Amino acid sequence: MPPLKVTLKPDAVPVRCKARRYAPEHRAFMKKHVQELIDAGLCYRNPHSKWCSPPLIVKKVEPGDFRMTVDVRRVNAQTLRMIWPMPIFEVIMDYHTDSELYFLLDFFKGYWQFLLSLECQELFSFLTDMGIFTPTRVLMGGSDSVAYCRPPCRRCSRNFSMTGC
């Protein structure tokens, strides 16, 4: 599968955020998490990036467990979005009214499994107090992320009865 290539609007200009102050537990999490991303080749230090967005630290269900997301709304505002059919939950459920068993699959680190095209990696750079980092993989929250990741996920699950998806 080719890497995701994000297309910017013709009048797009780089977005840069200001440094933010984070709670000590969030900073400790970010430091460890970003180092894990670097070690896995999922991002790299990029002090010369013209683009950067702020990370957001979100609490997960388990106490003391966090998720790092990147607030790319300003990048999304300058993106020419892919056109794709967003599934409607109610329609999908209509296909399964006679089903007796339902299950949920957690797409663990799902977006990180998909490559981001080299020419658009810098768009999704994020700024921490440790510096600017650029991802090499698709980020959750990008305007084209779901549209790009959905087709291969559907191919993997085509043996399940998911007629409405």
CA distance 82 to 17: 25
User: What would the pLDDT profile of 8-67 be if each residue is shown by its tens digit?
Assistant: 999 999 999 999 999 999 999 999 999 999 999 999 999 999 999 999 999 988 888 999
Q: 70 by DSSP, 3-state: which?
A: strand
Q: Residue 93 is encoded by which pair of tokens?
A: 């459920």
Q: Report the predicted TM-score, pTM, of the whole model to 2 decimal places.
A: 0.83
Please write the tens of the pLDDT for every residue from 88-140: 878 877 877 887 776 666 666 778 889 999 999 999 999 999 999 999 999 98
- One-letter amino acid at 41 equals G
Instruction: Evaluate whether the domain defined by 7-156 bears CATH number 3.10.10.10.
Output: yes
